[in-house]
């Protein structure tokens, strides 16, 4: 096996098709890396602490790693297609098949999280409030969520009093970056004019579902492109003498 002989018009068409598909897959891999990085920088793992579920965070890391490998492999796939190297095409098919499964799993995990989130969100968020004072990661997650989404508690600021806790400072409105109004006077008192009064449950659900939909859709889309890449590589492999 090595370099192929001169191919007919059908074979050349298949070669160029595989080259084009790999180029598109390469772009998809780069986009996937960009989306996964955006999701991590957008504090998705922090909010994951509130919902007691790491499925989305796991899916993001799977898609991030997969996107990097996809971009590299698709680049070498372009070379294999253009030079008609059978051993490279065979290796390409095996790697792409494994990546296809990985991308599909990552995409499905994101969608599974999206559906599961609706049924468990309120219960898990209420549960995490109880350990606000004892677990640093949960405290930072709540403070990040309330500051970012401009909300307080699960359904409102009184949820903190129900748990026997003072209303966190992150529930207070910002005067300017790094400086907030004083709004919390104890478990049962808050200054409504200086605090976020809307609960976090709706904003958190929309925020997480948006990221899950984007990541899940991107992972499945790249997996579909890779499926076509596998088909074209198999056909081209058989056409090379």
HEC-encoded secondary structure of 106-147: HHHHHHHHHHHHHHHHHHHHHHHHCCCCCCHHHHHHHHHHHH
Which pTM value belongs to this model?
A: 0.69
Q: Is residue 17 part of a domain?
A: yes
Q: What is the pLDDT of residue 178?
A: 61
- Identify the pLDDT of residue 2: 43
Q: Are residue 186 and residue 235 in the same domain, yes or no?
A: no
26 and 84 part of one domain: yes
Whether 101 and 172 share a structural domain: no
Exposure of 9 by Cβ count < 10 A (0-12 exposed, 13-18 middle, 19+ buried)?
exposed
User: Tell me, what's the pLDDT at 13?
Assistant: 77
Instruction: Residue 54: give the domain boundaries.
Output: 11-114+216-240
In a domain, 183, yes or no: yes
Cα 82 to Cα 20, 61, 75, 160, 234, distances in angstroms: 10, 32, 11, 63, 15
Return all residues near 238 (Cβ < 8 A) that are at least 6 apart: none
Residue 161 lies in a domain: yes
**If DSSP codes are grouped into helix, strand and coil, which group holds residue 189?**
strand
Strands 174-176 and 184-186: unpaired
Two structure tokens written together for 94: 């095996």
C-alpha 98: how far from chain center: 20
Which two tokens mark 194? 């200086």
The answer to whether residue 4 sits within a structural domain is: no
In a domain, 79, yes or no: yes
- In angstroms, the Cα distances linking 75 to 24, 27, 55, 179 are 10, 10, 30, 49
Q: Is 180 found in the same domain as 157? A: yes
pLDDT in tens, 117-136: 666 778 888 888 888 888 88
Name residues of the chain where pLDDT drops below 50.
1-6
Residue 35 CB partners (closer than 8 Å, separation 6+): 63, 214, 215, 218
The contacts of residue 149 (CB under 8 Å, 6+ apart) are 200, 203, 204, 207
Q: Output the CA–CA distances (angstroms, integers) from residue 27 to 23, 36, 73, in the order listed.
A: 6, 14, 12
- Number of domains the chain is built from: 2
């Amino acid at each position: 096996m090595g370099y192929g002989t001169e191919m007919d018009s059908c074979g050349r068409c298949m070669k160029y098709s595989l080259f084009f598909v790999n180029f598109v897959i390469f772009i998809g891999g780069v986009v996937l890396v960009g989306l996964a990085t955006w999701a991590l920088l957008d504090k998705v793992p922090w909010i994951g602490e509130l919902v007691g579920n790491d499925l989305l965070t796991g899916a993001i890391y799977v898609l991030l790693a997969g996107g990097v490998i996809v971009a590299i492999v698709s680049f070498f796939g372009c070379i294999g297609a253009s030079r008609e190297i059978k051993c490279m095409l065979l290796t390409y098919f095996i790697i792409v098949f494994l990546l296809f499964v990985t991308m599909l799993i990552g995409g499905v995990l994101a969608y599974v999280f999206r559906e599961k989130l609706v049924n468990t969100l309120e219960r898990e968020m209420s549960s995490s409030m109880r350990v606000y004072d004892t677990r640093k990661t949960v405290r930072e997650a709540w403070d990040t969520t309330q500051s970012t989404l401009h909300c307080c508690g699960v359904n409102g600021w009184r949820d903190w009093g129900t748990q026997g806790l003072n209303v966190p400072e992150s529930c207070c409105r910002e005067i300017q970056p790094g400086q907030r109004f004083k709004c919390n006077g104890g478990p049962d008192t808050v200054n409504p004019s200086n605090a976020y009064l809307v609960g976090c449950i709706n904003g958190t659900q929309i925020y997480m579902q948006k990221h899950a939909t984007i990541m899940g859709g991107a992972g499945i889309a790249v997996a579909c492109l890779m499926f076509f890449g596998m088909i074209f590589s198999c056909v081209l492999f058989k056409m090379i003498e």
